[in-house]
Chain A
């Protein structure tokens, strides 16, 4: 995981003027990291639960803080997603760094530092270390949005940072709370496995308060209604590549944190708050979808669809069933790729048309067929068309939720109907219909852009037909979390009727 940092160090020594070399080093580093990530996945032992590839060093022994890393199935899948998406972002955004305030070197240094922290945040098994990555990650993203974005980038960057910092500080209060409680009960540590026993001695009141500190931080990150307002601005102002990382990876930290920290550390509190959270999730699904239908700007549209999708993920997590969890984790992975596809193609479209208003893209189907098809597939994946990857995960989430919260699941299903609307309307407007004046001269995707988008679409299609390899990784981990919760999957009601 330190590999990207080495890349950053290498970047530091390349001359500022040699833009091409900078990009090549960055790309080589990210590809190397991706290969290591794939290798890890291959070597991962599907049959055991618990953390693998464990690594642990003393960091600040005075506070019982360790530099401890390790992955379970859920973390592994998310790390895999991050390391696969990063090189794609580098290829797709080959020219993104050039419109920025600072040099290309700065852009890629920030990107690589960010990649290091993304891996760190998923891999850390020490709560303190997790927090350090969680917060420190904000700084490179902040500069990526503020320095290289477009439009009101500074304001968007600040909004993003303030929201996240606020949530982060609430979480810090909770972490201090856990730490002091752990010390009081004789175990000065931040180790997640040890701390997951702490709930047995906490008073319910205490557990609820600590839970909320974590949950609000993650809900801002995820983003759950009503804490979502930073996202559309940030997504609109960031470069498409940064947006991919922001929505595709960073926001997953929120939902990942809910599984890893909220549920594991505070199972009783999680149960207490489940009805409220499910309600919020359902509101997010519908609210995001309605906003998406009304969106005029293509990047905002994608951001709103994400709010809707994150509603599904959160619902799956708090349904507290194995299916729900597996579905949610798979959803995180798939959402990473379908959002990546949408944002990247949108980025290509915007860079050609110099506008991000949906109405400006008419009749692309005829002018630039490959670009239009890519957008179409990405869109279909986003609305969970059977045969594409998102369908499996959305189905699992809904089934998992239905067994425990049928009403919520039924209402959420309307979200799918709305999804058809918010994807099909822009697809129709942008791709079909008469060619909008000014679009006749647009060029189709270049080879570089094809290379960037092809693997994403390949993943979307492949996982749509054959998701089981990933599910094999996820399922044991999801089952462990559920059993730690003291939950059992509800028995299928059919068998009781007999």
Chain B
């Protein structure tokens, strides 16, 4: 007879996640019962207040740490707090972009080009489902870096992925492309999930446990068969590396970034990275740190290839969203060096980098949503030429984000790059340092090319224009710009906070 133990839950520590889930459910109810014309505004209100409430409940439990927030399977600690806070802040800024309903299809179920679609457009329908879907994804992301049990980790992974697959297919224009992106993302994502599950079974076979603490004990004890451990690490890494878009598991990202509605791309690029890297840092720092000589060489190789590949291929891109996609691949490579560093400064640097990169990414995609012609967003880089003349402020903001991506001093990107590379070098990875710096130099080339296009080329007269941003988009871009430069000029408060807070509880 199995003794069933009632789970003990620490609700205060789980509150940030639970609040978001409750908000998402409320969103579903609004979707079902509220009259159509009031949905958009009430959904936006619910979403923002949910995220704010979640952030508030997170702040309430700061300083606390526990490995048993939910029966050993959720650990709340300093690093978790920071990652959750980063995810929530980034999500709030991203929701401002989502609030611009122009980007989304009128009726997701209608076939592209069908009469149904046309009539739904005429009726001015809106897919307000975007909001609850986003909230579900946020809940998954919040859980992801806190999970200390492989099963919980997998649930969180699926929870954050499924809404994203749907969101990717909701673009208003070029719907076929958008749906193709969604399908691609879903199929490849399912594949990665399968790998991940496979990895869990190997690890379970090795350690007879799915909890991180149990795995760690088995790793130290060293009684299991190392082959299973290695296979497990490899397969789990595939699942995680897929999410962060590292080479050779990156193939989805350019297509998905391009096809998805830009606001969704922004959210996905910024928040998913935080969540996925958070989980990755935790699992490697907590469970697999002692066998680092087993996985580190492979991880270093992946990081090197990712940096170089992302930077090189980005040069050939003519589409701004694809270019940003490849740049995010390169950044994934830089971030991997934080995982490889496997020391306290690596953890600090990664969290700082994730946050600053996430904010800048949202700002950059926010600018992309503004450049349009009569048929929607213009993502062809050639048609961006002369943007600096037509709308200097928007172009300056975008240039600022690009400079941050390139890691020019006085932007947040520079501090991030400096700290993450020095952490990696501290742990002895000279190759990471040198390759990282060189691929930054390559990457600088295409960022600068865009700046040249915007500022030094004459505008082409083909109807490309910058729309007057809605108040929400404006807010998102301003917040991102200010954060990017503030963190570049005076990062001390944030760095100190991270340094004193960030730690993983075993």
Contact = CB atoms under 8 A, between A and B. Distances in A.
Interface in B471-506: 490-492, 495-496, 499
Nearest to B453: A154
Nearest to B445: A162
B159 to A, nearest CB: 35
B12 interface: no
A173 B434 CA distance: 7
Contacts of A165: 406, 441, 444, 448
Interface string B413-456: 01100110110011000000110011011001100110010011
Interface string A64-88: 0000000000000000000000000
Interface residues of A, number: 35
Contacts of A132: 409-410, 414
B457 A154 contact: yes
A227 interface: no
Contacts of B496: 61-62
B305 to A, nearest CB: 19
Contact of B448 (A158, A173, A180): A158
Contact of B456 (A157, A179, A180): A157
A416 to B, nearest CB: 37
B426 A180 contact: yes
A62 B492 contact: yes
A162 B418 contact: no
B359 interface: no
Contact of A139 (B408, B433, B449): B408
A158 B452 contact: yes
B403 interface: yes
B389 interface: yes
Residue from A102, A165, A183 having most chain B Cβ neighbours under 10 A = A165
- The interface size bin for chain B is 35 or more
A135 interface: yes
A147 B456 contact: yes
A131 B437 CA distance: 14
A456 to B, nearest CB: 31
Nearest to B449: A158
A230 to B, nearest CB: 14
Nearest to B495: A62
B444 A58 contact: no
Contacts of B495: 60, 62-63
Given A143-B455, A153-B456, A58 B492 contact: yes
B441 A179 contact: no
A248 interface: no
A143 B399 CA distance: 12
A379 interface: no
Nearest to A60: B492
A154 B492 contact: no
Contact of B440 (A102, A139, A161, A169): A169
Interface string A91-109: 0000000000110000000
Chain B interface main SS type: helix
B502 to A, nearest CB: 12
Chain A interface main SS type: helix
Contacts of A63: 418-419, 422, 495
A53 interface: no
Contacts of B445: 162
Contacts of A172: 418, 421, 437
Contact of B433 (A131, A176, A183): A176
Interface in A23-61: 58-61
B410 A136 contact: yes
A135 B404 CA distance: 13
A157 B452 CA distance: 9
Contacts of A170: 437
Contacts of B452: 146, 154, 157-158
Nearest to B417: A172
B74 to A, nearest CB: 29
Contacts of A135: 408-409, 414
Interface in B212-239: none
A467 interface: no
Interface string B87-122: 000000000000000000000000000000000000
A180 B437 contact: no
Interface in B32-61: none
B448 to A, nearest CB: 6
Nearest to A103: B392
B35 to A, nearest CB: 48
Contacts of B499: 62
Interface in A119-176: 131-133, 135-136, 138-139, 143, 146-147, 153-154, 157-158, 161-162, 165-166, 169-170, 172-173, 176
A173 B437 CA distance: 6
A177 interface: yes
Nearest to A128: B418
B456 A169 contact: no
A176 B440 CA distance: 15
A200 B163 CA distance: 58
A60 B444 contact: no
Contacts of A62: 348, 492, 495-496, 499
Nearest to A61: B492
Nearest to B408: A135
Contacts of B348: 62
B303 to A, nearest CB: 16
A146 B449 contact: no
Nearest to A162: B445
A176 B455 contact: no
B455 A146 contact: yes
Nearest to A213: B437
Residue from B392, B444, B490 having most chain A Cβ neighbours under 10 A = B444
B438 A169 contact: yes
A147 B452 CA distance: 10
Contacts of B426: 180, 183
B485 to A, nearest CB: 12
Interface in B344-363: 348
Given A135-B414, A183-B426, 20 more contacts: A62-B348, A62-B495, A63-B418, A143-B455, A146-B452, A147-B456, A157-B456, A161-B448, A162-B448, A165-B441, A166-B441, A166-B444, A169-B437, A169-B440, A169-B444, A173-B421, A173-B433, A173-B437, A176-B421, A180-B426
Chain A to chain B: the 6 pairs with minimum beta-carbon distance, closest first: A154-B456, A132-B409, A173-B437, A176-B422, A62-B495, A135-B409
Interface of B: 348, 389, 392, 403, 406, 408-410, 414-415, 418-419, 421-422, 425-426, 433-434, 437-438, 440-441, 444-445, 448-449, 452, 455-457, 490-492, 495-496, 499
25 contacts: A58-B492, A59-B492, A62-B348, A63-B419, A101-B455, A131-B409, A132-B410, A133-B409, A146-B456, A158-B448, A162-B444, A162-B445, A162-B448, A165-B444, A169-B437, A169-B440, A169-B444, A172-B418, A172-B421, A173-B434, A176-B418, A176-B421, A177-B425, A177-B433, A180-B426
